[in-house]
Structure formats: structure tokens, C-alpha cells
């Protein structure tokens, strides 16, 4: 059991321990703890636990009492841990003569962790930043694009886990991994342009012609695409008059069939714009460009929506003004509910618009979950994690972060990658999620398999890679349902007779989602490099937890 001393023990602390699902409670003087985690300058008995972790960028009375000398203090720096970089967005303190084997500042190689073993067999580790300030920053402000590829929040969890287990303490955790799978993959499609026939001499049409005739040739000359894609795009342009006359097929309309042909039995989620010709408002209170308005509304593609639902897919709201106005959110939500017949509907905002209190607005409107948090210009972990989390402004609404969008990968104004380069970037993201757990959420737009984009080869290769990794493919709502099940686990104090801080747990059942795992980290195995595995996983059930609590599963 971890006893946490923070000021106050608020929603940030509680949410952190929903993401790092392990037994904890606010510190009590009469409590019995194996680990005490302190982030404030408060007196307590360091001998009350086998391991004491003191996170703070301020000088503490403990530092003065134990002659821990500060080497410096700076804001917004980057540490290294296990060969990986951890950005720090608040202040960070370094120490003279600290344990440099754990955390280092990249720029100076000065230690930000000072380890003491002065209390018999007890260990105290002084860490020079405020853990919960960093978590708050990640879950509210998010990471700048320069650090997008770093799962910073997940690394904070990994570091805390290592500090505990390497101190010889057995750790129980409900990992962010479904039973029987390596991690979760969620395939999503934002439907922005459901029909090219509806675009006549507008911004979208001009861009389509330019990219088909000019950009595709330039991409071919630099080796980014094969000649057959150039031919397909040119042929599409010359076919346009016949599309408008109704003689030729509209090559943007059959997006559901195209994706089903590639995804086969893999479910995916489509986010649908509710109303046509509404550009909405932008985060600065000004009118956004007119081309933000879609030329279709949900009613216009009722047949495509029915096709999605009949093949096991899911339809969510691609919100226009839902991000800033609860009345608009309710209006947009009711449109999607009416046409799908489903009451539980999630959302992703068009153009990824959001503001600080968007989660509260969406929750008040009755939206089940959000999947807006991600980057437009790059790919990666904007909130520093692949785990579904509850925004600090919300009471129940969960956020399924988005990690990669096709336009960010391929558009010249963004990353401008080739298909092969984009595949490697996606595989690198998948490696991170496989290492730390969570859900990798991908967004491939409705028209991205059709002319002029033709971004099918990267999507196909990466889809096959995910299948080979043994992931659980799930719709966005099923991912959120699994995380709600994980969040419902409750660790309870054991009785004295059981001599363990964990007595049991409860969770809700959801027939359509995989089970949970109870992961038990063995300190002996963890410290022995010759051991293949530092933990064991057991299927999660009430009986299992009671056996662990009584020592019968050791």
C-alpha cells in the first residue's frame, strides 16, 4: 500500500492512481505502508515505510536535515531515464552527489534523484520535481509538438514502478492491458467529405485538382508514390464532369466499403458531422474559414451510417460547436442519436477544436466520451499517455486520446512523409504502446483511400502489423467501456490477520470486453537480469485477489 502526502490530495492524485492502478490511499499517521510518496514539505516519520519517495522542486526541511545540497534549479528541462527522455514542464532541482544512475539532466548530467539508505533497511529517494504538477500539466495543457513522440506520463508511471520494485517491495497492479492481448488498437475515421459531387468550385475542389495534377507528379518524381497513383489521380480529374452529370460513380461516396475491404472483420469508429454548411466558431472566438463547413450532414449519408452499424462498426459525433457550447453540443448529439438509434454516443471535434472546459461542456450535454486530444501537425502523445483518462474538469466523461492522423503524416505542411516513412513512425508508436500498455488510436479520414490521397498502402501495412502483434481491435466505445471496468476496481485494506494491504477488489462486468489482469511484480526476479520475466499475470477475479491477499498464489 502506498501512502500519499500531497497538498491537497485532489483530483490529480486520484487520476494518477487510476492510470497507475495500484493500492494507495492518503497518508494516515496510524497507517501501515510499504511506500510513502510525499510531494510537500511536511514532517512525518521516514521510518514508517520501507521506501519513502519525496518529489519536489522546492528545498525541503528534509534536505537541510540530511545535508542534501542543491546543485541548481531550472524550468522546462528534459531528464533521461532508462535510455529514454522525460520532459519536465515545471521546475526541476538537481543535487550534488546524488544517485546519477536513475535520472540525469541531459544538459549537465547532474542527478535529479538523491538516494539515502540511512534508516536500517529503509530507503529514501529524493526526486527533484513535483510529480503531480507534471501530471496536471500533461492532462490539461498537454505536450508541445517537439515532445510528441515521448509517452511522458507513462514514463512517470514506469519510473515510480521501478523505484518501488527495485527497493525489494512486491507490487500489485491492474495493468492497462486486456487479458489475452498485447495492447488495444482503435481505428477511427473522421468523415469530412462524404461526396465530391457536393463540392463545386470551392476550396476543397481546388485543392483536389491541384494535388491530383501537380502534387502527385512532384511526389512521384521524389519517389514518394508509384506512377499508378499519378495515373489514378489524373484519371479522377478527367472523370469529374461525368461524376457531376451522374454518369460516373462518385469516388468519395463508397468510403465504408473501401474500409471494410481493408479492415475485414476489424471494427472501427466513424465520426460524422451532424449538419451541413456550418463552419462554427474557432477557439479564438472568431469565425473560422468557410471551408471548415462540411457540404454534407448526417441525414445525407444515412445509408452509409446504416452500413457502418450493420457491419459491427460504430458512429460518433464529429462536433462543430459542441466543444464550447452545451446547447450546440446537445443539438449535435441529438442528431446522431436520432439517425443511429443509439443513446451512448462519443465525440471528436472537427479540426480538433477544444478549450479548457470542453470536457465539462460535453459531459453536461450527455456525450459519453471524447476523442479529440491529439495533434493536427504531428503524431504522438499529446497528453503523454496511451491510456484512457478522465479530464480533471469532468466528473465521469473519459478521454480516448488520438495518437496519429493521416493528414499529419502525409501533408507537406506537416510531416510530409512517404508511405514507408509513415509506416515506420506508426510502428514506433505501436512499440511504445506495447511497452507501456494502453490504446493506440489512429484516425484515417473518409476520403484517404480514394483519389487524390490514395493513402492505402501505409494503412494496409500498419493494419497487418497490428494484427501480427496480437492486439485487441475495438471500437472507441468498447475501449472506453474496458477502461471503465478497469477504473471500477477497488483495492481495500486487509484485516490484520491477512497481513497484507490488499484484501480484494470489485469491478463491473461487461460481456463485450476482455477481462482484466492482476500483475504481481516480484522484486527478486526484477533485480535479476537473468530472469526472463519480472512479473506474473493472473486472470482477474474476486477469488484471485483473496488468494493473493492470503498468500496462497505465491
- SS3 percent helix, strand, coil of the chain, rounded to 5, is 35, 20, 45
| Beta-carbon contacts of residue 222 (< 8 Å; ≥ 6 apart) | none
Domain with 545, as residue range(s), is 488-550
Q: 112 with 91, same domain?
A: yes
- Tell me how crowded residue 189 is: count the other CB atoms within 10 A of its CB: 26
Indicate if 513 and 440 belong to the same structural domain: no
Q: How many CB atoms lie within 10 A of CB 147?
A: 18
For residue 482, the cross-strand partners are none
Residues 35 and 166 in one domain: yes
Q: Is the bond into 58 cis (omega within 30 degrees of 0)?
A: no
Write down which residue in 228, 251, 274 finishes a domain. 251
100 and 238 share a domain?
A: no
Domain assignment of residue 179, yes or no: no
Which residues, in sequence order, are CB contacts of 293 under 8 Å at separation 6+?
276, 277, 278, 279, 280
Q: Are residues 286 and 220 in the same domain?
A: no
The pLDDT of residue 513: 84
Distance CA 554, CA 544 (A): 11
Cis before 510 (ω within 30):
no
Q: What is the pLDDT of residue 166?
A: 87
Same domain, 84 and 226: no
Sequence-ordered list of residues with C-beta below 8 angstroms from that of 287, at least 6 positions apart, any chain: 279, 281
Question: At 125, which CATH number?
Answer: 3.40.50.880
Are residue 160 and residue 216 in the same domain, yes or no?
A: no
Residues 6+ away with beta carbon under 8 Å from 492: 502, 503, 504, 505
Q: How many domains does the chain have?
A: 4
Q: Are residues 283 and 237 in the same domain?
A: no
CA angle, 41 as apex, 29 and 392 as ends, to 5°?
85
What the block records as the C-alpha cell of 506 is 470489485
511 DSSP assignment: T
C-alpha closest to that of 189 among 441, 513, 463, 450: 441
Residue among 269, 251, 257 nearest 190 (CA): 269
Cβ within 8 Å of residue 300, ≥6 positions away? 194, 195, 276
Asked whether residue 259 is assigned to any structural domain, the reply reads: yes
Count of alpha carbons within 13 angstroms of residue 398, beta-carbon side: 22
Is 302 in the same domain as 397? yes
pLDDT tens, the chain, 554 aa long: 999 999 876 889 999 999 999 999 999 988 889 999 999 998 888 778 899 999 999 988 888 888 888 877 888 889 887 778 899 999 998 887 655 455 656 556 667 777 776 556 788 888 989 999 999 999 999 999 999 999 999 999 999 999 999 888 999 999 999 999 999 999 999 999 999 999 988 999 999 999 999 999 999 998 999 999 999 999 999 999 999 999 999 999 999 999 999 999 999 999 999 999 999 988 777 778 899 999 999 999 999 999 999 999 999 999 999 999 999 999 999 999 999 999 999 999 999 999 999 999 999 999 999 999 999 999 999 999 999 999 999 999 999 999 999 999 999 999 999 999 999 999 999 999 999 999 999 999 999 999 999 999 999 999 999 999 999 999 999 999 999 999 999 887 653 333 333 333 443 334 568 999 999 998 875 555 555 568 888 876 544 444 444 333 33
Q: Are residues 273 and 315 in the same domain?
A: yes
Contact (Cβ atoms closer than 8 angstroms) between residue 22 and residue 16: no
Q: Is the domain of 234 the same as that of 270? A: no
- Cα gap 81→105, rounded to integer Å: 9
Backbone angles phi, psi at 7, to 5 degrees: -130, 95
**Are 356 and 474 in a shared domain?**
yes
Grid cell 513535483 in the structure block, residue: 130
C-alpha–C-alpha distance, residues 515 and 20, integer Å? 17
Q: How many whole angstroms separate alpha carbon 139 and alpha carbon 11?
A: 11
Distance CA 266, CA 68 (A): 55
| Strand 171-173 relative to strand 439-443, pairing | unpaired
Amino acid at each position: 500500500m502506498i501512502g500519499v502526502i500531497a497538498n491537497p490530495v485532489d483530483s490529480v492524485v486520484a487520476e494518477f492512481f487510476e492510470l497507475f492502478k495500484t493500492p494507495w490511499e492518503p497518508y494516515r499517521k496510524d497507517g501501515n505502508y510499504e511506500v510513502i510518496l510525499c510531494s510537500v514539505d511536511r514532517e512525518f516519520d521516514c521510518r514508517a515505510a520501507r521506501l519513502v519517495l519525496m518529489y519536489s522542486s522546492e528545498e525541503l526541511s528534509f534536505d537541510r536535515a540530511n545535508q542534501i545540497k542543491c546543485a541548481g534549479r531550472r524550468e522546462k528541462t528534459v531528464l533521461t531515464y532508462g535510455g529514454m527522455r522525460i520532459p519536465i514542464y515545471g521546475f526541476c532541482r538537481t543535487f550534488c552527489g546524488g544517485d546519477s544512475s536513475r535520472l540525469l539532466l541531459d544538459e549537465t548530467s547532474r542527478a535529479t534523484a538523491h538516494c539515502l539508505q540511512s534508516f536500517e533497511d529503509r530507503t529514501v529517494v529524493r526526486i527533484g520535481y513535483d510529480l503531480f504538477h507534471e501530471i496536471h500539466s500533461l492532462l490539461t495543457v498537454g505536450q508541445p509538438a517537439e515532445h510528441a513522440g515521448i509517452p511522458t506520463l507513462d514514463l512517470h508511471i514506469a519510473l515510480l514502478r521501478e523505484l518501488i520494485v527495485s527497493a525489494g517491495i512486491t507490487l500489485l497492479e491492474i495493468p492497462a492491458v486486456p487479458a489475452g492481448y498485447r495492447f488495444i488498437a482503435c481505428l477511427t475515421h473522421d468523415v469530412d467529405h462524404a461526396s465530391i459531387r457536393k463540392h463545386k468550385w470551392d476550396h476543397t475542389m481546388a485543392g483536389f485538382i491541384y494535388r491530383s495534377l501537380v502534387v502527385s507528379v512532384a511526389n512521384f518524381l521524389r519517389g514518394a508514390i508509384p506512377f499508378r497513383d499519378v495515373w489514378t489521380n489524373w484519371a479522377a480529374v478527367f472523370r469529374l464532369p461525368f461524376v457531376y452529370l451522374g454518369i460516373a460513380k462518385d469516388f468519395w461516396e463508397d468510403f465504408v466499403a473501401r474500409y471494410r475491404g481493408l479492415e475485414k472483420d476489424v471494427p472501427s469508429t466513424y465520426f460524422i458531422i451532424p449538419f451541413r454548411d456550418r463552419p462554427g466558431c474557432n477557439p479564438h472566438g472568431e469565425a473560422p474559414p468557410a471551408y471548415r463547413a462540411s457540404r454534407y450532414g448526417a441525414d445525407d449519408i444515412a445509408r452509409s451510417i446504416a452500413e457502418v452499424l450493420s457491419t459491427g462498426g460504430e458512429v460518433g459525433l464529429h462536433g462543430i460547436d459542441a466543444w464550447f457550447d452545451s446547447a450546440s453540443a446537445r443539438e449535435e448529439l441529438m442528431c446522431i442519436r436520432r439517425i443511429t438509434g443509439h443513446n451512448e454516443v462519443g465525440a471528436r471535434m472537427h479540426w480538433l477544436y477544444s478549450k479548457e472546459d470542453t470536457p465539462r461542456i460535453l459531459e453536461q450535454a450527455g456525450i459519453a466520451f471524447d476523442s479529440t486530444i491529439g495533434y493536427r501537425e504531428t503524431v504522438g502523445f499529446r497528453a503523454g499517455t496511451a491510456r484512457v483518462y478522465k479530464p480533471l474538469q469532468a466528473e465521469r466523461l473519459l478521454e480516448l486520446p488520438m495518437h496519429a492522423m493521416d493528414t499529419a503524416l502525409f501533408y507537406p505542411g506537416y510531416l510530409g512523409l512517404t508511405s514507408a516513412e509513415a509506416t515506420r513512425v506508426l510502428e514506433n508508436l505501436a512499440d511504445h504502446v506495447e511497452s507501456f500498455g494502453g490504446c493506440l488510436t489512429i484516425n484515417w479520414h473518409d476520403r484517404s483511400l480514394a483519389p487524390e490521397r490514395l493513402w492505402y498502402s501505409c494503412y494496409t501495412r500498419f493494419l497487418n502489423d497490428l494484427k501480427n502483434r496480437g492486439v485487441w481491435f475495438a471500437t472507441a466505445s468498447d475501449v472506453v467501456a474496458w477502461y471503465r471496468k478497469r477504473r471500477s476496481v477497488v483495492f481495500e485494506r486487509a484485516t490484520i490477520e491477512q497481513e497484507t494491504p490488499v484484501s480484494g477488489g470489485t469491478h463491473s462486468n461487461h460481456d463485450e470486453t476482455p477481462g482484466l489482469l492482476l500483475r504481481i511484480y516480484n522484486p527478486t526476479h526484477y533485480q535479476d537480469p537473468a530472469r526472463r520475466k519480472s512479473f506474473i499475470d493472473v486472470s482477474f477475479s474476486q477469488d484471485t485477489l483473496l488468494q493473493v491477499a492470503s498468500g496462497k498464489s505465491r
